[in-house]
Amino acid sequence: MRNALFAVLKVAISVVLLAALIWNVGPDRVAGIAAEADYRYLAAAILLWFGSVVFSVQKWNVMLHAQGIRLPYRLLLTHYYIGLFFNNFLPIVGQDVVRGYGLARDAAQAHEIAIAVLVDRMVGLLSFIVNGALMSVVIVTVFGRRDLMPFSIATCTVAAGVVLVFASVFSRRLRHLIEWAFHGRFLNVLLPTVVRLSEALVPYRRNARVLFIGYGLATASMVVTHLVNWFVSLAVHAGVGLEYIFLFNALVVFAPLLIPSMGGLGVNQGAFVYLYATLGQTTSVGHAFAMGLMMQVVTAISSAPGAVLWWRGHTARAAVRPA
């Protein structure tokens, strides 16, 4: 019952936000931008998206290797695409649950796979927030956007906090400090979970090289994703400079983590409008909304192979299931 209510809430949030944004921009304006769009750039964005997937799957592969799990790349690609497909309907972490569960069912190493998925996601988010913070400094100092100084300070502060948390999880010395802090009266209940998580991450703590390689692959995937967004900007004639894509797209990814929705629908478009139009003043509200909407289309189309792969696997399992 609770899951059903949460699903209804996500759909309601997406519908309300999307309706409010369309009303604010104007339906005629949205339709006009869509009609004038250059869909050649949109096609290029869809093709380029597959490059991002290649880097992301290889990052996951590296994290699995650290756990002693070696599986065919094709199998990982299959489960990653299935996760991408279901991410159209689930919160952003739903992709991780789907791909982790599917792979664990095939590989029968559920605990290790779950940890690898967790670290894979952590490294990816770390790359996005740290690179976004660095780009905010570049925008302020090199491009002279002094008005974005408070935003840059806030972003760098959050990034520093994320790095500290990441280091505390993987550092042996900081681990003992964190465990000591959780001995407090109110946090003591969480201590067993913290200890188990810390022990589960031992393979990565002993092999920091894996984390650096993962961070590099996450950054490569992020750069390709930025270029996808830039092509979408060109498709709708938004006129957003590539430097602002590198700044704001690194932060858009966090919007669905803060507000539950159906695959980020409504939330992502609101983030595009706020960051690119209101805060960054790099384009109009209508064009920023069109960018967000077109990116939703790109991700939906790009994840379509996941639907085919899931259906094939589902029908294959049904065929061998005993009567």
Give the residue from 317, 293, 320, 321 showing the smallest Cα distance to 31. Answer: 293
**38-63 mean pLDDT:** 92
Highest-pLDDT range among 25-39, 54-68, 82-96: 54-68
- What is the dihedral sign for C-alpha 314, 315, 317, 323? positive
What's the pLDDT at 97? 80
Average pLDDT of the segment spanning 240-268: 84
Assess contact for 249 and 224: CB atoms under 8 A. Answer: no
Mean pLDDT of 38-57: 92
Tokens of 57: 């799957």
Interval 308-313 mean pLDDT: 84
Question: 190 vs 110, which has greater pLDDT?
Answer: 110
Whether 97 and 318 have beta carbons less than 8 Å apart is answered as no
Asked whether the predicted pLDDT for residue 59 surpasses 70, the reply is yes
Quick check: 323 pLDDT over 50? no
Averaged pLDDT, 285-299: 91
Where residue 12 falls among pLDDT bands split at 50, 70, 90? confident
Percentage of the chain exceeding pLDDT 90: 41
Give 258: exposed, middle or buried? Use CB within 10 Å, 0-12, 13-18, 19+. Answer: exposed
Element (H, E) at 121: helix 110-141
pLDDT at res. 3: 58
Report DSSP letters for 10-47, one per residue: HHHHHHHHHHHHHHHH-HHHHHHHHHH--HHHHHHHHH
Question: 33 or 160: which carries more pLDDT confidence?
Answer: 160
Are the beta carbons of 60 and 210 closer than 8 angstroms? no
Residue 138: C-alpha distances to residues 11, 132, 238, 247 (Å): 38, 10, 22, 9
Residue 289 identity? F
pLDDT of residue 233 exceeding 70, the answer is yes
For helices 94-107 and 110-141, the axis angle rounded to 10 degrees is 150
For the segment 179-200, what is each residue's pLDDT rounded down to a tens digit? 666 666 656 666 666 666 667 7
Q: What is the Cα–Cα distance from 106 to 118, expressed in whole angstroms?
A: 18
CA distance 165 to 190: 16
* Highest mean pLDDT, choosing among 175-179, 206-210, 257-261: 206-210
Report residue 249 as tokens. Answer: 């797209």
The tens digit of pLDDT for each residue in 130-174 reads 999 999 999 999 999 999 999 999 999 999 988 887 877 777 666
164-180 confidence digits (pLDDT tens): 878 777 776 666 666 66
According to the model, what pLDDT value does residue 19 have? 81
Contact 79, 99 (CB under 8 A): yes
Which of 2-11, 23-32, 114-123 holds the top average pLDDT? Answer: 114-123
Determine the Cα–Cα distance for residues 287 and 233; give it in Å rounded to an integer: 8
Contact 116, 66 (CB under 8 A): yes
* Orientation of helix 110-141 relative to helix 149-170, angle to 10°: 150
Share of the chain above pLDDT 70, in %: 82
Instruction: Name the E strands within 104-259.
Output: none
Does the pLDDT value for residue 318 go beyond 60? Answer: no
Which of 189 and 207 is assigned the larger pLDDT?
Answer: 207
* C-beta separation of 127 from 300 below 8 A: no
